[in-house]
Amino acid sequence: MSDENPYVSIKNWAEDDRPREKLLLKGKHALSNAELLAILISTGTKEASAVELGKRILKLASDNLNELGRLGVKDLTKVKGIGKAKAITIAAALELGARRRVEEVMEKAIIRSSRNAFDIMHPLLADLKKEEFWILLLNRANKVIHKFRVSEGGVAGTVADPKIIFKTALDHLASGVILCHNHPSGNNKPSQSDIDLTKKMKEAGKLLEISVLDHIIIAENNYYSFADEGIM
């Protein structure tokens, strides 16, 4: 082992430099992203500490936490020293973080604009590699009362069954529905099938006295709103 770059196990570090001890002594905000990942990873290898493995994972995601959230178990295990169990732990922690963001928005979720709907659905859909179709159900005050995943599909599309959508809306006594799906390609423009479905849903909603207020297409950090574009 070279004297210029000696590997030292975390257990031999100064106590306040070890990620777990550092968190207890200084609080979670004092830890770097790599140190937080090291706590999830728990143990390193003979060649690299858990912190070093954390750095390698971040490098895999270009040191971008949003990109990290898009990595799956298969991607994470490309880092030498990260097996399936460690990758699952990291993926689960990232998913909890995304769900927390959704819950924070949902607590005060009154839809006043397309941006409000985007803020709720973005954490759930932006990182997916396959299309999913969701609905937001609203009461008469435009407060979100329920969110529901209608379907999931492949990279190029998913099926949204109007019967399932309106049954769910009726079950929750919803007054309004916002349709939402993602485009993993990054292109937020609607396809002809997206336009046809939106028109069909709008007309069906009139018969049931359930307003279809918007259809949001999420593509990474951008979105397309049918209502904003005057298509609803």
* Residue-wise pLDDT tens digits, 140-152: 999 999 999 999 8
Rounded to an integer, what distance in angstroms lies between the CA atom of residue 110 and that of residue 107? 9
Q: What is the CATH number of domain 110-225?
A: 3.40.140.10
Rounded to an integer, what distance in angstroms lies between the CA atom of residue 182 and that of residue 104? 21
* Residue-wise pLDDT tens digits, 156-203: 567 789 999 999 999 999 999 999 999 998 899 999 999 999 999 999
pLDDT band at 97 (very low <50, low <70, confident <90, very high): confident
Q: What is the pLDDT of residue 203?
A: 93
Sketch the domain layout of the chain as residue ranges: 10-101, 110-225
Q: What is the CATH number of domain 10-101?
A: 1.10.150
pLDDT band at 6 (very low <50, low <70, confident <90, very high): low
Q: What is the pLDDT of residue 80?
A: 93
Q: What is the pLDDT of residue 2?
A: 41
Question: What rounded mean pLDDT belongs to the chain?
Answer: 87
Tokens of 43: 């143990």
Mean pLDDT for 194-219 is 95
Which of 1-5, 15-19, 128-132, 225-229 is the least confident region?
Answer: 1-5
152 phi-psi bin (left φ>0, alpha ψ -120 to 50, beta other): beta
The answer to whether 10-101 and 110-225 have equal CATH topology is no
E strand map for 33-113 = none
First to last CA, the chain: 67
Q: What is the pLDDT of residue 105?
A: 62
Percent of the chain with pLDDT over 90: 61
Q: Is the pTM of this model over 0.85?
A: no
Mean pLDDT for 93-121 is 83
Beta bridge partners of 122: none
